[in-house]
Amino acid sequence: MKILENREMKLLDRIKKLTTLRFFLLFLILTIIVVVAMGNVTPQILALSGGAPILDIRPGYTFADVEHLLTVLGEQGRQLYTTLQVLDLIFPLAYGMTLTLALTSVITKLFPEGHLMEKAVSMPILGMIFDYLENITIATLIASYPNLSPLAVSVASIFTQLKWLFIILACVLLAILAALALLKKK
Protein backbone atom coordinates (compact mmCIF):
# COMPACT_ATOMS: atom_id res chain seq x y z
CA MET A 1 0.00 0.00 0.00
CA LYS A 2 2.85 2.35 0.86
CA ILE A 3 4.50 1.63 -2.51
CA LEU A 4 1.29 2.57 -4.34
CA GLU A 5 1.01 5.81 -2.37
CA ASN A 6 4.64 6.66 -3.21
CA ARG A 7 3.98 6.05 -6.91
CA GLU A 8 0.86 8.22 -6.77
CA MET A 9 2.84 11.02 -5.16
CA LYS A 10 5.66 10.74 -7.70
CA LEU A 11 3.14 10.89 -10.55
CA LEU A 12 1.36 13.84 -8.93
CA ASP A 13 4.69 15.62 -8.40
CA ARG A 14 5.55 15.14 -12.09
CA ILE A 15 2.14 16.41 -13.15
CA LYS A 16 2.50 19.44 -10.88
CA LYS A 17 5.84 20.25 -12.57
CA LEU A 18 4.10 20.14 -15.96
CA THR A 19 1.22 22.30 -14.73
CA THR A 20 2.30 25.50 -16.41
CA LEU A 21 0.45 27.74 -18.82
CA ARG A 22 2.96 26.81 -21.51
CA PHE A 23 2.29 23.06 -21.28
CA PHE A 24 -1.45 23.61 -20.90
CA LEU A 25 -1.54 25.71 -24.08
CA LEU A 26 0.65 23.19 -25.91
CA PHE A 27 -1.74 20.32 -25.15
CA LEU A 28 -4.81 22.48 -25.76
CA ILE A 29 -3.52 23.50 -29.20
CA LEU A 30 -2.62 19.88 -29.97
CA THR A 31 -6.15 18.86 -28.94
CA ILE A 32 -7.66 21.46 -31.27
CA ILE A 33 -5.45 20.43 -34.18
CA VAL A 34 -6.38 16.75 -33.75
CA VAL A 35 -10.09 17.59 -33.42
CA VAL A 36 -9.91 19.55 -36.69
CA ALA A 37 -8.07 16.70 -38.43
CA MET A 38 -10.53 14.11 -37.10
CA GLY A 39 -13.36 16.44 -38.10
CA ASN A 40 -12.22 16.13 -41.71
CA VAL A 41 -12.47 12.32 -41.66
CA THR A 42 -15.55 11.75 -39.47
CA PRO A 43 -18.13 13.29 -41.88
CA GLN A 44 -16.88 10.97 -44.63
CA ILE A 45 -17.38 7.99 -42.34
CA LEU A 46 -20.85 9.23 -41.35
CA ALA A 47 -21.80 9.59 -45.03
CA LEU A 48 -20.71 6.03 -45.76
CA SER A 49 -22.47 4.67 -42.67
CA GLY A 50 -25.77 6.34 -43.50
CA GLY A 51 -25.43 8.54 -40.43
CA ALA A 52 -24.62 5.76 -37.95
CA PRO A 53 -22.13 7.22 -35.44
CA ILE A 54 -18.69 5.71 -34.99
CA LEU A 55 -18.21 3.50 -31.95
CA ASP A 56 -15.90 5.92 -30.14
CA ILE A 57 -18.61 8.55 -29.64
CA ARG A 58 -21.38 6.21 -28.53
CA PRO A 59 -22.09 5.65 -24.84
CA GLY A 60 -21.85 1.89 -25.50
CA TYR A 61 -22.77 -0.64 -28.16
CA THR A 62 -23.80 -4.22 -28.82
CA PHE A 63 -22.52 -6.90 -31.14
CA ALA A 64 -25.38 -6.07 -33.55
CA ASP A 65 -24.42 -2.36 -33.47
CA VAL A 66 -20.81 -3.11 -34.38
CA GLU A 67 -21.72 -5.64 -37.04
CA HIS A 68 -24.19 -3.21 -38.61
CA LEU A 69 -21.76 -0.27 -38.58
CA LEU A 70 -18.83 -2.20 -40.04
CA THR A 71 -21.09 -3.78 -42.69
CA VAL A 72 -22.66 -0.52 -43.90
CA LEU A 73 -19.29 1.22 -43.91
CA GLY A 74 -17.97 -1.16 -46.54
CA GLU A 75 -14.28 -1.55 -47.29
CA GLN A 76 -13.75 2.16 -47.97
CA GLY A 77 -15.46 3.19 -44.73
CA ARG A 78 -13.52 0.68 -42.67
CA GLN A 79 -10.29 2.03 -44.18
CA LEU A 80 -11.35 5.58 -43.28
CA TYR A 81 -12.21 4.42 -39.77
CA THR A 82 -8.72 2.92 -39.52
CA THR A 83 -7.28 6.30 -40.59
CA LEU A 84 -9.35 7.93 -37.87
CA GLN A 85 -7.96 5.40 -35.37
CA VAL A 86 -4.42 6.51 -36.30
CA LEU A 87 -5.36 10.13 -35.48
CA ASP A 88 -6.95 8.82 -32.30
CA LEU A 89 -3.52 7.72 -31.12
CA ILE A 90 -2.71 11.39 -30.43
CA PHE A 91 -6.12 12.58 -29.24
CA PRO A 92 -6.31 10.81 -25.84
CA LEU A 93 -2.90 12.14 -24.84
CA ALA A 94 -3.79 15.65 -26.01
CA TYR A 95 -7.18 15.99 -24.31
CA GLY A 96 -6.11 13.86 -21.33
CA MET A 97 -3.17 16.10 -20.55
CA THR A 98 -5.22 19.25 -21.16
CA LEU A 99 -7.81 18.09 -18.62
CA THR A 100 -5.19 16.79 -16.20
CA LEU A 101 -3.21 20.03 -16.21
CA ALA A 102 -6.35 22.17 -15.84
CA LEU A 103 -7.66 20.01 -13.00
CA THR A 104 -4.28 19.98 -11.26
CA SER A 105 -4.01 23.74 -11.53
CA VAL A 106 -7.42 24.34 -9.97
CA ILE A 107 -6.97 21.69 -7.26
CA THR A 108 -3.58 23.06 -6.17
CA LYS A 109 -5.11 26.55 -5.92
CA LEU A 110 -8.09 25.41 -3.83
CA PHE A 111 -6.72 22.66 -1.58
CA PRO A 112 -3.61 22.19 0.56
CA GLU A 113 -0.92 19.74 -0.53
CA GLY A 114 -1.79 16.15 0.34
CA HIS A 115 -5.55 16.78 0.30
CA LEU A 116 -7.69 13.86 -0.80
CA MET A 117 -8.92 15.94 -3.76
CA GLU A 118 -5.49 15.54 -5.38
CA LYS A 119 -6.49 11.97 -6.26
CA ALA A 120 -9.09 13.43 -8.64
CA VAL A 121 -6.22 14.28 -10.99
CA SER A 122 -6.27 10.59 -11.93
CA MET A 123 -9.74 10.86 -13.53
CA PRO A 124 -8.64 12.28 -16.91
CA ILE A 125 -5.63 9.96 -16.87
CA LEU A 126 -7.94 6.97 -16.41
CA GLY A 127 -10.16 8.32 -19.19
CA MET A 128 -7.10 8.53 -21.42
CA ILE A 129 -6.02 4.97 -20.57
CA PHE A 130 -9.50 3.58 -21.28
CA ASP A 131 -9.57 5.55 -24.55
CA TYR A 132 -6.35 3.85 -25.66
CA LEU A 133 -7.73 0.45 -24.65
CA GLU A 134 -10.93 1.27 -26.56
CA ASN A 135 -8.90 2.26 -29.64
CA ILE A 136 -6.93 -0.98 -29.56
CA THR A 137 -10.08 -3.11 -29.32
CA ILE A 138 -11.90 -1.11 -32.03
CA ALA A 139 -8.88 -1.45 -34.34
CA THR A 140 -8.94 -5.19 -33.63
CA LEU A 141 -12.66 -5.32 -34.47
CA ILE A 142 -12.14 -3.46 -37.75
CA ALA A 143 -9.21 -5.71 -38.69
CA SER A 144 -11.11 -8.90 -37.83
CA TYR A 145 -14.31 -7.98 -39.67
CA PRO A 146 -16.41 -9.98 -40.68
CA ASN A 147 -15.17 -12.46 -38.04
CA LEU A 148 -16.16 -10.39 -35.05
CA SER A 149 -15.77 -11.74 -31.54
CA PRO A 150 -18.69 -11.08 -29.19
CA LEU A 151 -16.21 -10.94 -26.31
CA ALA A 152 -14.06 -8.33 -28.09
CA VAL A 153 -17.17 -6.24 -28.79
CA SER A 154 -18.22 -6.41 -25.13
CA VAL A 155 -14.74 -5.47 -23.95
CA ALA A 156 -14.56 -2.56 -26.42
CA SER A 157 -17.95 -1.29 -25.25
CA ILE A 158 -16.90 -1.51 -21.59
CA PHE A 159 -13.72 0.45 -22.38
CA THR A 160 -15.83 3.06 -24.20
CA GLN A 161 -18.21 3.37 -21.26
CA LEU A 162 -15.34 3.70 -18.77
CA LYS A 163 -13.64 6.28 -20.98
CA TRP A 164 -16.77 8.42 -21.04
CA LEU A 165 -17.37 7.95 -17.32
CA PHE A 166 -13.95 9.28 -16.35
CA ILE A 167 -13.90 12.06 -18.95
CA ILE A 168 -17.34 13.30 -17.93
CA LEU A 169 -16.50 13.10 -14.22
CA ALA A 170 -13.26 15.04 -14.83
CA CYS A 171 -15.06 17.72 -16.86
CA VAL A 172 -17.86 18.12 -14.31
CA LEU A 173 -15.38 18.30 -11.44
CA LEU A 174 -13.25 20.80 -13.35
CA ALA A 175 -16.28 23.01 -14.02
CA ILE A 176 -17.35 22.91 -10.35
CA LEU A 177 -13.85 23.57 -9.03
CA ALA A 178 -13.21 26.35 -11.55
CA ALA A 179 -16.47 28.01 -10.44
CA LEU A 180 -15.39 27.65 -6.79
CA ALA A 181 -11.99 29.15 -7.61
CA LEU A 182 -13.66 32.12 -9.28
CA LEU A 183 -15.99 32.62 -6.32
CA LYS A 184 -13.06 32.36 -3.93
CA LYS A 185 -11.29 35.19 -5.79
CA LYS A 186 -14.21 37.55 -5.20
Q: List pLDDT tens digits, range 143-163.
A: 999 999 999 999 999 999 999
Determine the pLDDT at residue 14.
Answer: 80
Total tally of structural domains belonging to the chain: 1
**Per the domain annotation, does 159 fall within a domain?**
yes
Determine the pLDDT at residue 160.
Answer: 98
Which domain range does residue 101 map to? 2-179
Q: How would residue 95 be classed by pLDDT, with cut points 50, 70 and 90?
A: very high
**Per the domain annotation, does 57 fall within a domain?**
yes
Determine the pLDDT at residue 6.
Answer: 59
Identify the burial level of 135 via C-beta atoms within 10 angstroms of its C-beta, where 0-12 means exposed, 13-18 middle and 19 or more buried: buried
**Per the domain annotation, does 109 fall within a domain?**
yes
The pLDDT tens digits for 108-143 are 999 998 898 999 999 999 999 999 999 999 999 999
Phi-psi group of 111: left, alpha or beta (phi > 0 → left; psi -120 to 50 → alpha; rest → beta)? beta
**Per the domain annotation, does 186 fall within a domain?**
no
**Per the domain annotation, does 19 fall within a domain?**
yes
**Per the domain annotation, does 74 fall within a domain?**
yes
Q: What is the rounded average pLDDT for all residues in the chain?
A: 92
**Per the domain annotation, does 104 fall within a domain?**
yes
**Per the domain annotation, does 46 fall within a domain?**
yes
